[in-house]
Structure 1
Amino acid sequence: MTDTPPAIPAATLVVFRDAGDGPPELLFVERAKAMAFAGGALVFPGGRVDPGDHALAAVLGTGDAESAARIAAVRETIEEAGLPIGLSPMPSPTAFARMRAALHAGTAFGEALTDAAVGLDLDALEYFARWRPAHAHARIFDTRFYLARLPAGAPEAQVDATENVRLFWATAADVLAEADAGRATIIFPTRRNLERLTQFADFAAAVEHARAHPVRTVTPWTETRDGVEHLCIPHDLGYPITSEPISDAVRG
């Protein structure tokens, strides 16, 4: 059995904003070009699962890696995009602004939640995918992807202007078109997940699909097909496109 290099646990959140007359819009952030991983790429809000996320999961009585990843996805979306996903009850605008500022200042997430008198609703996140590349790279992330609906009454999303330089709402198809035209950069896992997300007319359809395809960790592999080396993923996880010439793949 081939050993795979160590990976950094991470979590990311695909936030849906349903549109009545078209496909749902998703929240994207553009990473700063100076970032070591996926610099300049369009991604979903997210980041590393920190020790504090595990500590908070233990306080909540779970303590498992899955709960810690959900907590990280909620925390990172607050920090990066200023959206209160997975909080209950919804904090007032003033309380939420204080919470986000406290997180940016280094306050532990659990303490910030207590100060705002809110708790976590981790069931608001739907487990969608898990990706763990194995290619030689400076940083490899073991990333859980979650889906969530933008709550009614949520504030406008606001970029943190640190790791990310802008954020915007767009359909999955629109971002794929921008990447194909050379106007945007998306890495291989993001492209495959966007292709999968184009299949859904709304958030409910995405959740139904996710529940019909139990998550299995995706570790892409290389394979020669008709003389061309491809980067490949399994065929049975709900992805409509499961390979791409490795010369075209953006790997972070």
Structure 2
Amino acid sequence: MTDRSFNDSHFAESDEDLPEAIPAATLVVFRDAADGAPELLMVERAKAMVFAAGAMVFPGGRVDPGDHLLAQTMGGDEEMAARIAAVRETIEEAGLPVGLATPPSADTLDAMRAALHAGTPFGEVLAQAGAELDLDLLVPFARWRPAHKNMRIFDTRFYLARLPADAPRATVDQTENVRLVWASAQKVLDESDAGRMAIIFPTRRNLERLAQFASYEDAAAHARATPQRVVTPWPETRDGEQHLCIPDDLGYPVTSERLAAAMRG
């Protein structure tokens, strides 16, 4: 038995009650493991951060005005701007050149990362480095837009990408994030269940979905074949307990979690 009449005070009853969503993008970077499921790159948010403090997340962040401008110069739209943001954020946060046509040298990559941290627009950074984007390397996976009326709302697009051959070692930026790990999706879920890592509701659902695949190729094929709609979780009472729920036709093996247990950022 389900009852969707439950209305948590933290959730908006209509779009009019919601603050304007902040466009964001995140990149799930895969690397092959010697034995077993592929590893994913995750970073731990600094405890001082307003959003998802102390949580393990995929590299990503807001879509900046410079990302929109660069997309416009390339004849693209908001979706292209999100791809650009995902590439930029991964360079900033982890020092990985994912989504570039040709990987830059180590010195050039370090200079690009430093320029981005200094606030130089990504288009200028690319031009100075003689680098070009290859946004087809990113595979759209999901789009989430929560409905918490008293919190920041991010309209986040998730992309999948493979770690480039001969990529440098990923390093944390020590600003927004304090450490990074490579681990399989199931390993992160297990560490969270054991209390050794914190993951917010969208990250958990996406890790559960990614844990179904034995390779990047399998995950990318699934992403291309699965319909994509904006995921906006809702509260619902199920069998006497309040749950946070998502649609059951978008590829997620787990579509609800007890509201009291869900970490929402």
Specify which of 173, 179, 192 is matched with residue 166 of structure 1. Answer: 179
Q: Counterpart in 2 of 1:40? A: 54
Segments of structure 2 that go 5 or more residues without pairing to the other structure are 1-12
Q: 1:23 aligns to what SS in structure 2?
A: coil
Q: Counterpart in 1 of 2:72? A: 58
Specify which of 27, 32, 35 is matched with residue 13 of structure 1. Answer: 27
* 1:103 aligned onto 2:103: no
Q: Which moved more, 1:115-124 or 1:12-21?
A: 12-21
User: 1:196 Cα shift?
Assistant: 0.3
Q: CA RMSD in A?
A: 1.0
User: 1:199 Cα shift?
Assistant: 0.3
User: 1:137 Cα shift?
Assistant: 3.1
Distance (whole Å) between structure 2 residues aligned to residue 245 and residue 95 of structure 1: 47
User: 1:20 Cα shift?
Assistant: 4.2
Q: Counterpart in 1 of 2:233? A: 220
TM-score of the two chains, using structure 2 as the length reference: 0.93
* 1:83 aligned onto 2:96: yes
Q: Counterpart in 2 of 1:237? A: 250
Identity %: 71
Q: 2:29 aligns to what SS in structure 1?
A: strand
User: 1:94 Cα shift?
Assistant: 1.2
Q: Counterpart in 2 of 1:74? A: 87
Distance (whole Å) between structure 1 residues aligned to residue 147 and residue 224 of structure 2: 26
Q: Counterpart in 1 of 2:9? A: none
Specify which of 145, 168, 180 is matched with residue 193 of structure 2. Answer: 180
Q: 2:223 aligns to what SS in structure 1?
A: helix
User: 1:61 Cα shift?
Assistant: 1.6
Amino acid at match of 1:2: S
Distance (whole Å) between structure 2 residues aligned to residue 132 and residue 5 of structure 1: 11
Distance (whole Å) between structure 2 residues aligned to residue 114 and residue 83 of structure 1: 18
User: 1:90 Cα shift?
Assistant: 1.3
Specify which of 199, 203, 208 is matched with residue 195 of structure 1. Answer: 208
Distance (whole Å) between structure 2 residues aligned to residue 160 and residue 14 of structure 1: 17
Per-residue CA deviations over 1:111-148 (Å, capped at 9, x if unaligned) read 11011111000000000000000022321100000000
Q: Number of paired residues?
A: 251
Kept in 1: contact 2:19–2:152 (CA 8 A)? no
Distance (whole Å) between structure 1 residues aligned to residue 150 and residue 169 of structure 2: 36
Amino acid at match of 2:219: A
Structure of higher RCO (CA pairs closer than 8 Å, 6+ residues apart): 2
Distance (whole Å) between structure 1 residues aligned to residue 227 and residue 138 of structure 2: 15
* 1:148 aligned onto 2:200: no
Distance (whole Å) between structure 1 residues aligned to residue 221 and residue 150 of structure 2: 34
User: 1:18 Cα shift?
Assistant: 1.4
Distance (whole Å) between structure 1 residues aligned to residue 126 and residue 106 of structure 2: 14
Per-residue CA deviations over 1:176-224 (Å, capped at 9, x if unaligned) read 0111111111000000000000000000000110011121100000111
Segments of structure 1 that go 5 or more residues without pairing to the other structure are none
